[in-house]
Chains A and B, each alone.
Chain A
């Protein structure tokens, strides 16, 4: 095979890949559109007074915290004010090196609590358990550092209620968040896990840990991530909902049936993608056993999070996410190869493996080889241009589809100017941003392949939007 033939074959491969990945997402989009339409039909329920009153099961909210001294008190205070009939908050201080424990102690008047701690899931040593004298439903576990998964497992061990909700210490919630994510459990007794849409808080106004008003960020990097999140959540996840094949529930805010998670062994502490790994494992175990189950996803925005504002932090986040994805899939290879794999094993898993896990390899190689071929004169200018037009055109179309879905469903960004800014971002992200993300995802893949050690996902937060702290 001469260089020209090789370049020609590579082009077939890359073009085929770009069409396949975008075609796949387009199908997911159509599925998400139908799911959102169904959701909107029953939205009238929320308008009715007390549509669900009296049937909510109590929930244990688990808040793993590592070096969160600056924001932990505000975050916990906001969680204590959630609009939900019965819940407890369990903060797990995972051996923080800063003054997280002191901040909690002084903000909530903690006293030692002689809890008969149950080690249903093995965790690092628990140094002490405290209870607030001001809030009877708040307990704090102080333990040796073991990572986020270990902290969540320690929280599960101490939890008293049948459902638990893992919440990142920096998550910004709405008062109704918990009620929304519990709703699927009320409608279907086979639901084992439920998650919702995570949105970006940069630019928004937050008071006392709650979202006060929504606005777009002024900086470009978080703005581009808003479009990315819309794509990921509104149809990357909503699209799989009708098939019961949602493989990811964000660790920022996810609700689980406790006994199911305990029976599965809890969160794995040897992966950085513990949230996704758990959901894929639950699918695998339930498919294998043939037990009826459902992993639900509500499109409502239930949780807001601060997106990275610098390239360095964004890179660190994306390499970690990619590594977590790779671990989650490889640790559960039994799912696609099971005779009972169903939609999660035979559709969602291969989709994710091909387009999200291995996708960066093909994507980055495609861009590099086409550019290299063009530079060396092996690829014509017209072919190179057509390749870029295809890749960018399909990318823009998918992003605009996400904007349309947002407008049909929640239209959170109220001002007409916001629409124009988001449309511009949907176009702009295809010129450099998406390629950069693909490159970082490739780096994450390499780190996973070469086995670099995993750590807590530390992120320098600016929290510039936070008021009333």
Chain B
């Protein structure tokens, strides 16, 4: 092997690769320097831009400035970011004036252009902006994004639809919320809480009823019920009762029980305290924690021996919340408890009461 003596082509290749790597490193170092330079220039531009526009946004608290600076299209994203922050910090009519300013400088047109940019960051920025601006013209585009885009963009699109026209959007957004398992229920619930509960209640009731008839075995029904639980829309209660009467899927039953607050519904919880699935029993015990009465004491004491830790814990908490129950009474129940698990759990809840 000539490599050993230094004349092999392999040796030349090694020198070439090693030397090439060092040259590449040098080129990359130059690239790093150029990137840093570009960053510094961009930051300086953003600073100057903010200094120019902040007084204009601040003036919107009183009136829309007659002569706003010209907005260059390449500064559209910068403008929308600052404008959205201003939207968050101002309230009432000042927000309307900010909308007027955005229209005056052409930011509404830029936002619409961003919606078709294919860049998720710009799309989201634009969707939040068109929601504030209530641009009804973007409805088909936002609706398509809500249906087909990845979760973060589609959720922003759903939010935009709700802000533009909540009554019109609710049915569509709830249908998507039932179908799209990649939409976190809590995110949709946060959006729905921004809407008028007089609109969301009937819309949720209709969506739950439709889902019960169309896809009673699908995951959408439980998702809609969890949304109802998070928005506490009383108007949808009849739909929940209908679900409990016609559906026995454990996850649906648990989600339905989680929405119950009305004392008239205690029977639905009692009927499921011995359910085979622990999370259904848990949901039923939580109902008693919300609406339980003194006569539930014996039932809850029995549940303190449930095999599930969480069911025992919630039963002990429900006991502590019953009308007329206090620390001494709970301590007496603990002392009398025959079951060690029941005594331990009552001890924990007593300890929590002492620290609180």
Tell me which residues across on chain A come within 8 A of B57, comparing CB atoms: none
Which chain A positions have C-beta within 8 A of B122?
A: 44
CB-based contact A116/B15 at 8 Å = no
Contact A400 B28 (CB under 8 A): yes
Taking a contact as CB atoms under 8 Å apart, the answer to whether B36 and A419 are in contact is: yes
B124 with A45: CB separation less than 8 A: yes
Q: How far is the CB of B62 from chain A (nearest CB, A)?
A: 22
Interface size of B in residues (CB-CB distance below 8 Å): 62
Question: Within the complex, which residue of A43, A52, A189, A403 is in contact with B181, where a contact is CB–CB below 8 Å?
Answer: A189
Give a binary string over B41-65; 1 marks a CB under 8 Å from any A CB, 0 the rest: 0000000000000000000000000
User: At the interface, yes or no: A19 with Cβ under 8 Å from chain B?
Assistant: yes
Contact residue among B88, B121, B186 (Cβ-Cβ distance under 8 Å from A55): B186
Tell which of B15, B28, B309 has the most Cβ of chain A within 10 Å.
Answer: B28
Q: From known contacts A386-B11, A407-B35, infer whether A4 and B189 are also in contact, taking CB-CB under 8 Å.
A: no
Q: Confirm or deny: A404 has a beta carbon within 8 angstroms of a beta carbon on chain B.
A: yes
Nearest CB on A from B332, distance (A): 16
Report chain A residues within 8 Å CB of B36: 407, 411, 416, 419
Is A187 in the interface zone, CB < 8 Å from B? yes
- A54 in contact with B189 (CB, 8 Å): yes
- Chain B residues positioned under 8 Å from A53 (CB to CB): 190
Task: Decide if B39 touches A390 in the complex (CB within 8 Å).
Answer: no
**Mask of A151-176 contacts with B, CB within 8 angstroms, 1/0:** 00000000000000000000000000
Q: A114-B351, A116-B344, A383-B4 are in contact. List 7 more A-B contacts (CB 8 A).
A: A44-B77, A47-B81, A53-B190, A188-B182, A400-B28, A407-B32, A419-B33
A-chain residues with CB within 8 Å of residue B120 when the two chains form the complex: 41-42
B338 within 8 A of A: no
| Stretch in B18-26, B105-113, B204-212, B294-302 with 4+ CB within 8 Å of A | B18-26
CB-CB contacts below 8 Å: A152-210 with B: 186-189
B20 in complex: contacting residue of A115, A391, A393, CB < 8 Å: A393
A423–B81 Cα distance when bound, in Å, is 34
What is the bound-complex CA distance between A49 and B125, given in angstroms?
11
Whether B215 sits at the interface, judged by CB under 8 Å, is no
CB contacts (< 8 Å) of A111 on chain B: these are 354-355
B141 / chain A contacts, CB cutoff of 8 Å: none
Interface membership of B139, Cβ < 8 A? no
What are 24 inter-chain pairs, A to B, with CB distance below 8 A? A4-B4, A44-B124, A45-B121, A49-B85, A54-B190, A56-B186, A114-B344, A116-B347, A373-B4, A378-B4, A379-B4, A382-B11, A386-B18, A389-B15, A391-B18, A393-B21, A394-B21, A396-B21, A396-B22, A397-B21, A404-B28, A407-B35, A408-B35, A419-B36
User: Residue of B at shortest CB range from A373?
Assistant: B4
Residue B17 interfacial (CB < 8 Å): yes
Contact A389–B125 (Cβ < 8 Å): no
Question: Contact between B351 and A419 (Cβ–Cβ < 8 Å)?
Answer: no
B84 touches A (CB below 8 Å): yes
A400 and B29 CA atoms in complex are apart in Å by: 7
Query: Is B187 located at the chain interface by the 8 A CB criterion?
Result: yes
Binding-face segment, A7-15, A214-222, A298-306, A459-467: A7-15
A116–B313 CB distance below 8 A: yes
Instruction: Kindly report which residue of chain A lies nearest to residue B87, judged by CB atoms.
Output: A49
Which A residues, 357 to 399, have Cβ-Cβ distances below 8 Å to chain B?
373, 378-383, 386-394, 396-397, 399
Cβ of B128 within 8 Å of any chain A Cβ, yes or no, is yes
Q: Which residues of chain B have C-beta atoms less than 8 A from A188's C-beta?
A: 151, 182
Residues from chain A with a CB closer than 8 A to the CB of B348 are 113-116
Knowing A41-B120, A44-B122, say if A131 contacts B181 (CB, 8 Å). Answer: no
Hey, which chain A residues are within 8 Å of B350, CB to CB?
A: 114
B184 within 8 A of A: yes
Contact across chains for B124 and A116 when beta carbons are under 8 A apart? no
Residues in A neighbouring B344, C-beta threshold 8 A: 114, 116
Tell me whether B267 is interfacial, beta carbon within 8 Å.
no
Chain B residues whose C-beta falls within 8 Å of the C-beta of A136 in the assembled complex:
355-356
On whether the beta carbons of B17 and A116 are closer than 8 Å, the reply is no
Asked if B198 is at the interface of the complex by the 8 Å CB criterion, the answer is no
Could you tell me if A45 and B152 are in contact, using CB atoms closer than 8 angstroms? Answer: yes
Q: B residues within 8 A CB of A381?
A: 6
Nearest CB of A to B39, in Å: 6
User: Measured between alpha carbons, how far is A45 from B5 in the docked complex, in Å?
Assistant: 60
B32 neighbours in A (Cβ, 8 Å): 400, 403-404, 407, 419, 423
Question: Given known contacts A48-B125, A116-B312, is B184 in contact with A186 (CB within 8 Å)?
Answer: yes
Residues of B close to A113: CB separation below 8 A: 348, 351, 355
Give the docked Cα–Cα distance between A404 and B25 (Å). Answer: 10
- Please determine whether A41 and B121 come into contact, CB atoms closer than 8 angstroms: yes
Q: Is the CB of A401 within 8 A of B28?
A: yes
Which residues of chain B (109-163) have a CB below 8 Å from chain A? 119-122, 124-125, 128, 151-152
- A390 touching B4, Cβ below 8 Å: no
Q: What is the chain B residue whose CB lies nearest that of A9?
A: B1
Residue of chain A at shortest CB distance from B32: A407
- Render B318-356 as a binary contact track against A, CB cut-off 8 A, 1 for contact: 000000000000000000000001001101101100111
Cβ of A52: which chain B residues have Cβ within 8 Å of it? 187
Taking CB atoms and an 8 Å cut-off, the chain A residues in 92-128 that contact chain B are 111-116, 118
Does chain B have a CB within 8 A of A50? yes
Query: A57 — which chain B residues lie within 8 A by C-beta?
Result: 186
The distance from the CB of B172 to the nearest CB of chain A, in whole angstroms, is 20
* Chain B residues within an 8 Å CB radius of A419: 32-33, 36
Chain B, 159-197, CB within 8 A of any chain A CB: 181-182, 184, 186-187, 189-190, 193
Smallest beta-carbon distance A35→chain B, Å: 14
**Closest Cβ neighbor of A392 among chain B residues:** B18
Task: Tell yes or no: A452 within 8 A of B by CB.
Answer: no
Give the docked Cα–Cα distance between A242 and B3 (Å): 40
Asked whether A5 is an interface residue with its Cβ less than 8 Å from the other chain, the reply is: yes
Render A425-454 as a binary contact track against B, CB cut-off 8 A, 1 for contact.
Answer: 011000000000000000000000000000
